[in-house]
Amino acid sequence: MKEIILDTETTGLSVRDGHRIVEIGCIELEDLMPTKNRFHCYLNPERKVSEKALEVHGYTDEFLSTHKKFAEIVDEFLGFIENKRLVIHNAEFDLSHLNNELALLGKKKLNNENVVDTLALARDKFPGSPISLDALCKRYRVDNSKRTQHTALIDCDLLAKVYINLLDQKEPTLNFKNEDNEKIIINSNDTNQYYKKVVKPSEAELKLHKEYLKNSLKKNFFN
């Protein structure tokens, strides 16, 4: 199944205050594995960036004024996400801004029926614990050192790793015993499991082995 990890950056928090999208980032997953397909663009929001938003992502009015408007990339964007599940951290925020942009162009809004909100997943899994993207990266030991500011593609890359962990689909690790007390080594690059069975001799077999050693050693010593 194909899914899209999606993130946006905006001029401010609420569309009710007229805020617009300034960046969209998407990373495609197929069966929880990242593909080479990505969508990314900066956008001219046709308005000023709020001071608080500028502190978050660092995109200035001057920088954004040189980029395309949402209307110029909307068809390419919709084609990229078509018929794919969207995976978003705090989906309500991103969907409200995306649907506002679509509404301004008279286009059909995105529905939330085929959307996974990783914020809700984390809230159910870790009630009462911090569930920001940074907090989840720390919990799952995902390196977020490059996230000095919020940028859509970096956030998507981190969210993809967090999402896999939230679904308990982690990369295979060493596991030393199974139900049959067999030693298991799982190759991190393969889903196959390799077993090395530990055979314990019975008391009768141990007794026969001792007798064999005794007789064999005596014969070799005296000959």
β-partners of residue 3 are 29, 85
Give the H or E element holding residue 146. Answer: none
Residue 43: CB partners within 8 Å, gap ≥ 6? 20, 21, 22, 23, 24, 64, 67, 68, 69, 70, 73
Enclosing H/E stretch for 31: none
Where are the strands (E) in 31-101, listed by range?
Answer: 33-42, 85-88
| Count of C-beta atoms within a 10 Å radius of residue 67 | 16
3-state secondary structure of 10: strand
| CB within 8 Å of 114: residues ≥ 6 apart | 84, 85, 86
Catalytic residue among 57, 89, 150, 209: 150
The tokens describing 6, both together, are: 């999606």
Which two tokens mark 7? 């993130």
57 noted as active-site residue = no
> Residues 6 or more apart from 107 whose CB is under 8 A from it?
74, 78
22, 12 contact by CB (below 8 A) = no
Residue numbers annotated as active site: 150
